[in-house]
Amino acid sequence: MVIPAESFVLDPSYEGTLQQQIQELVTEGILSGRLQPGERMPSSRRLSEQLGVSRITVTLAYTELVSNDFLRAEGRSGYFVSENAPRPPVFDIPDQATADSVDWTRAIGQRFSRYAPLVRPSDWRRYKFPFIYGQADATLFDHQNWRQCALKALGQRDFEAMTADYYERDDARLIEFITRHILPRRGIAARPQEVLLTLGAQNALWMAAQVLLTQRRTAAIENPCYPGLREILEPTRCKLDVVDVDAGGLPPEALSSEVDVVFTTASHQSPTNATMPVERRRALLARAAQDGFIIVEDDYEFEMSFARSPSPALKSLDQTGAVVYIGSFSKSVFPGLRLGYLVGSETFIREARALRGLVLRHPPGHIQRTVAYFLSLGHYDAQVRRMGTAYAERRAVMEAAIHEFGLDLAAPSNFGGSSFWMRAPEGVDTIDLAQRLREMGVLIEPGRAFFGPEDENNAFYRLAYSSIPKERITEGIGLIADALAA
């Protein structure tokens, strides 16, 4: 039987080449059982006419399908579905999912779904004024060189780096670059065995919490604070010491004497952007030495200190090993990369490494090697500078517009960053505000998520400029001012 050419139809919304789409139509037909082994494919001429594509495209697709043994070629008589092609499943599959009669209330030992993370709308690119935080800006990303580096890392020479099970190890090239070039810029000297790669900063924070906390210990967190940290701490059942930040970030004198671990965003407090002054950093380290607590420093945005030369990391002042440092490539490369790192004493890193091994083994090798190339060829630095320049421009426009429209900055920020922490006028609920603005094409982040569940604080909001084009900022701020006035 010859399979009719009419049974193949192109999908205009398909993303990919015509040849790929033809291959996919054929493999799908075979895998679904619609095309049977031994059946004859339409000739390349017939199919090219039916699909309105060139004959060579069909021939190339057929040739590829032959090499994959989905089709076989038979001299002049054409192409047939191969007898070796995978068969569709022969099992009886019910149309509906199985009726679930398990008592999941009983079966689930630990419930995690109540920790709802801060989620941005996935279609944020369709909004005209996206004042949202932490997403990749396609206009600033060096896509071409990233692609080059990824391609290099896909090469035969890097086969082992890409495919191997690394167990507890990391890519030595990447670790070397981090210790030799990235950490020194933060004033940190670390040896390779004091660094561990993680699946992004979230994963680094999570591992630090697992190694350092138990339900008998106390963690101090900043208020307001990064919501992902609260998500992490709740399941550990540790006690919380919630410390209000001021214009200098976390005040060490406000820490309880019971504290075992202090989580801080010293360089850019999240979300207020406050930078902790050096004297306060020294005081915090002195308290750590005196009371014997560990400090986890989340330096999530250090590359974005374009407004002044960056303050050295808290870790750079650490003489005792009490600081565990977290860095990330999510802001400077892109968040979907999922790559960050932990820096700390060898004893701590050993435990974190063992934990990572049992939870997920290691970040994918290909990602590690691609980043290593992107860094060592200088593209990372170039990109950070490009972003810094763009952010500085956007920030200036933001500041002028915030001033012009009389919006209220809740906190100063001197070192750059990518957002402003704002206070709404008395009586405004910023969750409502965000909802109303969204209908007008403006995305802002209500501040509620940065406070604890017990704290019904709806007075603040965050305006980020990492994803909004400079030209749209003033109009967007104007719309926010209008909504606040209404």
- Contacting a copy of itself within 385-404 (CB under 8 A): 385
E strand or H helix at 210, and its extent?
Answer: helix 200-212
Q: Can you tell me which of 2, 254, 289, 400 binds a copy of itself, judged by CB under 8 A?
A: 289
CB of 29 to a copy of itself, least distance (A): 11
Which residues, at least 6 apart from 171, have a Cβ–Cβ distance to it below 8 Å?
Answer: 161, 197, 365, 368, 369, 372
Nearest Cα residue to 303 out of 372, 199, 389, 234: 389
Nearest Cα residue to 121 out of 131, 108, 106, 109: 131
146 binds a copy of itself (CB under 8 A): yes
290 binds a copy of itself (CB under 8 A): no
Nearest Cα residue to 343 out of 302, 395, 396, 403: 302
CB of 375 to a copy of itself, least distance (A): 9
Residue range at the interface with a copy of itself (CB under 8 A); choices 242-250, 332-340, 396-404, 413-421: 332-340
DSSP sequence for 303-362 = GG--SSPPPPPGGGG-SSS-EEEEEESTTTT-GGG--EEEE--HHHHHHHHHHHHHHTS-
Q: Can you tell me which of 206, 302, 420, 461 binds a copy of itself, judged by CB under 8 A?
A: 206
CB of 134 to a copy of itself, least distance (A): 6
Query: Residue 361: left if φ>0, alpha if ψ -120 to 50, beta else—which one?
Result: left
Dist CA 295 CA 346 (whole Å): 15
Closer residue to a copy of itself (CB): 292 or 406:
292
239 binds a copy of itself (CB under 8 A): no
Window 218 to 237, contacts with a copy of itself (CB under 8 A) = 228, 231-232, 235
Window 102 to 131, contacts with a copy of itself (CB under 8 A) = 102-104, 106-115, 117, 119-120, 122, 125
Window 333 to 352, contacts with a copy of itself (CB under 8 A) = 334-339, 345-348, 350-352
Residue range at the interface with a copy of itself (CB under 8 A); choices 48-56, 356-364, 449-457, 474-482: 356-364
List the beta bridge partners of residue 130: 443
Dist CA 134 CA 111 (whole Å): 28
CB of 231 to a copy of itself, least distance (A): 4
- Residues that bind a copy of itself (rule: CB under 8 A) add up to a total of 151
Whether the CB-CB separation of 301 and 255 falls below 8 Å is answered with no
366 binds a copy of itself (CB under 8 A): yes
Q: Using the structure block, give the residue that is written with the tokens 């990372």.
A: 380
258 binds a copy of itself (CB under 8 A): no
Q: What CA–CA distances, in Å, run from 161 to 1, 35, 172, 368?
A: 47, 39, 10, 9
363 binds a copy of itself (CB under 8 A): yes
Window 84 to 103, contacts with a copy of itself (CB under 8 A) = 84-86, 88-89, 91-103
Window 17 to 56, contacts with a copy of itself (CB under 8 A) = 20, 23-24, 26-28, 30-32
